[in-house]
Structure 1
């Protein structure tokens, strides 16, 4: 029997009810390393289920949640999970409904996280401390204002590692 390391469920519209079932399975799994459930109609509740997985699971290193409906409350749950998680290195939240409050929750958690994320993909406004250690930043398909662009530029002045920026 082969071992599944990557689960790709892009575009399956499983919503939060489906995520609840997946989360129960993920809590039992000690092999899966990559989960991509983009374009799956996941909201705050689904993010809460996934956060409960991140608090306990020690093998998931990549979580891709692009093009869903996760907002500030969902990111708050994910950020709280990052305080306990030591294995997640990639988190992609591109094209969700995350505002300044969600970004602040995430930035606060990342400043305290035992293992910093090496790749984060999201709409970012207030990220000065976060950008000091990031190596990859993807801001495609977001509505970053002139103010947001200025904040990113200011934060990049203090970046101490080589940063690859997607355009």
Structure 2
């Protein structure tokens, strides 16, 4: 019996494909590389004509909104939610399960609300909710103070956009949402024709986010009510918001309480009031506009464009550092503008010394 590979006639090969014991020369290496680079037979790649590449497609499945023939299966929703939690290795949220039990069974009517208010959420928790959103829609979706970050805001925004899950969305008191998260929320606002109210109170919003929001408002989304209370808006941010709302003909209510607005911001409010034709209620409570800023607003109220085209009928100026010095300007504005029906100027030093 031969006692070596060489004696058996079978060569021993190294990892680079060369026979062990052979003399390696540049020509040997070149020949080996050439051998490896060649195929044993010719191969050809064929592509179909352009119009044949896509043979068909399926629309993504959306929930059957307002289907009078459909009955909401509460047990199915409960089971689907539990399975999603099991897949993500989470315990089902007791609060969510209790809310599912209260769902009505009418397929043609939205559920009243889904509230996670005050709960510390994670992205996995939000992904589990998709099995609810794909089956039912809500009037109110409340994620107030749920510690949302970018990833969670993206997941939530995509669901709200695709499933048209909410008429009113509350994401206030979430300061960890950054640009990527706000982009998803703004896409939902722009593309969801059912979303009418957005509550962003106590949010950390920089100029880039405000610019994004302004572009979204300029695109005429279905948004009717916008809450921006306690969001720092003075200066350029207020300018961006005013510019975004100038051409908007849908928004009816704008809440800007406690936004740090000062006298100089009165010029931006002047532009907003004189150019916007849809806004009916403007809430500016707890700012620092003072007499100077308030005079800009009064000048806007009596402007011919405002009188001719504006819909503004309610103005709240509660606690703005206004004094009796600006009352003559207010009186002149009220005399010329018959459209203003409600004016709240409480908690201002209006007494005459």
Query: Which TM-score applies when normalising by structure 2?
Result: 0.42
Q: Is the 8 A contact 1:127 1:155 kept in 2?
A: no
Partner of 1:87: 250
Q: Which residue of 283, 291, 298 maps to 1:128?
A: 298
Query: Which TM-score applies when normalising by structure 1?
Result: 0.82
Larger Cα Rg: Structure 1 or Structure 2?
A: 2
- Written as runs of structure 1 = structure 2, the 5 A alignment for 1:45-64 is 45-64=208-227
Partner of 2:262: 99
Q: Is the 8 A contact 1:11 1:39 kept in 2?
A: yes
Secondary structure of residue in 2 paired with 1:128 = helix
Distance 1:127 1:162, change over 3 A: closer
- 1:142 partnered with 2:320: yes
* Partner Cα separation in structure 1 for residue 188 and residue 167 of structure 2: 14
Deviation at 1:150, TM superposition (A): 4.9
Deviation track 1:109-152 (CA, whole Å, cap 9, x = no partner) reads 43233x23110112552112443553211122433344455543
- 1:157 partnered with 2:335: yes
Partner of 2:232: 69
Gaps of 5+ in 1: none
The structure with higher relative contact order (CA 8 Å, sep 6+) is 1
Q: Give the aligned length.
A: 166
Q: Which residue of 138, 158, 168 maps to 1:6?
A: 168
- 1:119 partnered with 2:297: no
* Partner Cα separation in structure 2 for residue 24 and residue 138 of structure 1: 30
Distance 1:37 1:98, change over 3 A: same
Gaps of 5+ in 2: 1-135, 138-164, 303-309, 347-353
Q: Is the 8 A contact 1:15 1:46 kept in 2?
A: no
